[in-house]
Amino acid sequence: MKENIIRKSIELFDEKGFIETSIQDIVGNIGVTKGTFYYYFNSKQELLRDIHLSYLQELLGEQQIILEDKDKNYIDKLYGIIYLLIKKIKSHGPNARILFREMRHLNQSNMDQIKKKRKEFRNNFQLMIEEGVQVGEFNNNVRSDILTIGILSIANRSYYWYNSDGEIGEKELVDLYLELILNGIKA
């Protein structure tokens, strides 16, 4: 039931907007009462927070597996994390887009919890870049913080335009991104 509420909420928030979707809209659409909603969530805002926190938790878990993989060098790890983000577009695209659009409706405490997780993902990425520089896989002439933001911008922006059912497959897209990130475009 919790999963039903979450799935329908994402759909409605995506279509109508967070403010414009009432708890009644959500429960009415899945044929249950408001009591059922309040059994799982204290408010619509907590639902929005939980949707995103569980997604971030999932991402952090999968990122950790990639980072701890002893068989991967740093280029492999970079590839793995970009692929992780692109692969999730299909299942979590609306989730990520809604959060980005509606996050100003979260109060400070809820927002801080999300920001903390996002920062954790970004910091892990930056540390990976720095370790890759130390072992000589990556250039040491760039700021790892700006590089991290730049690379994650490319992957995260894909949530707004990329369709994995279209002409370009997920792996092909990641290959194209990696070619840009690793080798640049200068002839």
Handedness of CA 26, 53, 115, 137 (dihedral sign): negative
Question: In this chain, which of 43, 57, 139, 163 binds its own copies, going by CB under 8 A?
Answer: 139
Report phi then psi at 73, rounded to 5.
-80, -175
Q: Does residue 158 touch its own copies according to CB under 8 A?
A: yes
Pick the piece of the chain touching its own copies (CB under 8 A) from 26-34, 42-50, 109-117, 128-136: 128-136
- 18, 105 in Cβ contact below 8 A? yes
The conformational region for residue 136 under phi > 0 = left, psi -120 to 50 = alpha, else beta, is left
Per-residue tokens: 101: 């659009």
Residues 38-67 that bind its own copies (CB under 8 A): none
Q: Does residue 166 touch its own copies according to CB under 8 A?
A: no
What is the Cα–Cα distance from 163 to 25, expressed in whole angstroms? 28
Identity of the residue, 30 or 175, whose beta carbon is nearer to its own copies in the bound complex: 175
Identity of the residue, 64 or 139, whose beta carbon is nearer to its own copies in the bound complex: 139
What is the Cα–Cα distance from 95 to 13, expressed in whole angstroms? 9
Q: Does residue 142 touch its own copies according to CB under 8 A?
A: yes
Measured from the CB of residue 115, what is the shortest distance to its own copies in angstroms? Answer: 12
Q: Does residue 79 touch its own copies according to CB under 8 A?
A: no
Q: Does residue 127 touch its own copies according to CB under 8 A?
A: no
DSSP state of 158: G
Identity of the residue, 34 or 115, whose beta carbon is nearer to its own copies in the bound complex: 115
Closest CA to 171 of 79, 68, 97: 79
Tell me which residues touch its own copies (CB under 8 A): 17, 19-20, 75, 101, 104, 129, 133, 136-143, 146-147, 149-151, 153-154, 156-158, 161, 168, 173, 176-177, 179-187
